[in-house]
């Protein structure tokens, strides 16, 4: 069966059964996918306040009750311990295990966070005839650490990470309009133009992901990126923290369009 036409629950079942182990881009087309972050209860309040204070990089889609692994708002029947194709388990801030099932690591005091991901607004850009370069070039989106400091919360603090998509000036204006409708998946850009203004030295050398071609008549457009909260949390070297593996997201029951504000 074509992965793009699966329903979200069919896609999650394939993943849970181990018959899909790859990235989730393009699966269950039209439905919101989420970044996963799992932290112990003792860190969860500060992490949630951090997200509240930095809604552009950290748009919260769902928070589980402590110990529960069901995302109540976005896919009540799902199991966050098994329904993503690949997880990263970090101990003391160091990647210690890559796995397809985190049932054993999910202790009673774990809290799961689902954060909005850019797949949703990229779909909206494409539907508005705005080309998305890293999709055209079949690469991972280029991401950069910036000089924009997030608003700290508790021990969590650090720079905002942004993703970059090059486009024509006229498209950049339309892109502001289109993505403003989706505040739950990073919303409007945080910067357009000179990368130096936000502390980025070289667009050719992203801190995460891969570089993409920028044509002469194009301007770089920067969006707050969901890598930010993970990077910030990891600096605290929590005893344990679990995330999705890059590109291996959680597929929700929420349609992209239904997260739009207008």
Q: Does the footprint of its own copies cover residue 124 (CB under 8 A)?
A: no
Which residues, 6+ apart, have CB-to-CB distance to 138 below 8 Å?
none
Q: Which listed residue (1, 94, 204, 262) binds its own copies by CB under 8 A?
A: 262
Q: Which is nearer to its own copies, 37 or 44 (CB)?
A: 44
Q: Does the footprint of its own copies cover residue 226 (CB under 8 A)?
A: no
Closest distance of CB 253 from its own copies, Å: 15
Helices (H), 101-168: 119-127, 133-136
Please give the Cα distance from 133 to 166 (Å, whole number). 7
Q: Which listed residue (7, 21, 26, 72) binds its own copies by CB under 8 A?
A: 72
**Contacting range for its own copies; rule: CB under 8 A; set: 12-20, 42-50, 117-125, 190-198:** 42-50
Tokens of 135: 């999709």
Q: Which is nearer to its own copies, 52 or 128 (CB)?
A: 52
Interface pattern 141-180 for its own copies (x via CB under 8 A): ----------x-xx----------------------x--x
Residue 36: φ, ψ to 5°: -110, 135
Closest distance of CB 50 from its own copies, Å: 10
Please give the Cα distance from 176 to 187 (Å, whole number). 8
Closest distance of CB 116 from its own copies, Å: 13
Q: How many helices (H) and strands (E) does the chain have?
A: 6, 11
Give, as one character, the DSSP assignment of residue 68: -
Pairing mode of beta strands 218-224, 60-63: unpaired
Interface with its own copies: number of residues (CB under 8 A): 22
Please give the Cα distance from 224 to 164 (Å, whole number). 9
CB 62 within 8 A of CB 113: yes
Q: Does the footprint of its own copies cover residue 109 (CB under 8 A)?
A: no
Q: Which is nearer to its own copies, 10 or 46 (CB)?
A: 46
Q: Which listed residue (94, 170, 204, 261) binds its own copies by CB under 8 A?
A: 261
Q: Does the footprint of its own copies cover residue 48 (CB under 8 A)?
A: yes
Q: Does the footprint of its own copies cover residue 187 (CB under 8 A)?
A: yes
Which residues, 6+ apart, have CB-to-CB distance to 170 below 8 Å?
none
Buried b (16+ CB within 10 A) or exposed e, 246-262: ebbbbbbbbebeebbee
Q: Which listed residue (4, 21, 45, 107) binds its own copies by CB under 8 A?
A: 45
Closest distance of CB 193 from its own copies, Å: 21
Question: Please, what is the Cα angle at 29 between 245 and 165, to 5 degrees?
Answer: 65
Closest distance of CB 153 from its own copies, Å: 7
Residues that bind its own copies (CB under 8 A): 41, 44-45, 48-49, 52-53, 60, 63, 65, 72-73, 151, 153-154, 177, 180-181, 183, 187, 261-262
């Amino acid at each position: 069966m074509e992965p793009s036409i699966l329903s979200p629950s069919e896609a999650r079942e394939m993943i849970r059964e181990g018959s899909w182990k790859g990235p989730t881009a393009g699966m269950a087309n039209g439905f919101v996918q989420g970044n996963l972050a799992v932290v112990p209860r003792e860190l969860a309040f500060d992490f949630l306040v951090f997200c509240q204070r930095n809604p552009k990089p950290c748009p919260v889609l769902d928070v589980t009750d402590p110990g529960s692994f069901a995302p109540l708002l976005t896919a009540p029947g799902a199991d966050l311990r098994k329904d993503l194709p690949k997880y990263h388990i970090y101990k003391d801030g160091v990647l210690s295990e890559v796995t397809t099932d985190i049932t054993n690591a999910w202790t009673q005091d774990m809290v799961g966070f689902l954060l909005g991901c850019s797949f949703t607004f990229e779909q909206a850009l494409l539907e508005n005839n705005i080309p998305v370069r890293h999709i055209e070039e079949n690469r991972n989106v280029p991401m950069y650490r910036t000089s924009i400091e997030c608003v700290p919360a508790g021990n969590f603090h650090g720079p905002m990470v942004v993703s970059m998509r090059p486009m024509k000036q006229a498209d950049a204006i339309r892109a502001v309009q289109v993505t403003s409708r989706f505040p739950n998946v990073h919303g409007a850009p945080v910067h357009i133009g000179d990368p130096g203004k936000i502390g980025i030295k070289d667009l050719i050398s992203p801190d995460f992901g891969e570089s993409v071609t920028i044509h002469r008549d194009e301007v770089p457009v920067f969006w707050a990126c969901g890598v930010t909260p993970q990077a910030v949390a990891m600096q605290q070297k929590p005893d344990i923290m679990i995330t999705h593996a890059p590109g291996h997201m959680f597929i929700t029951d929420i349609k992209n369009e239904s997260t739009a504000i207008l």
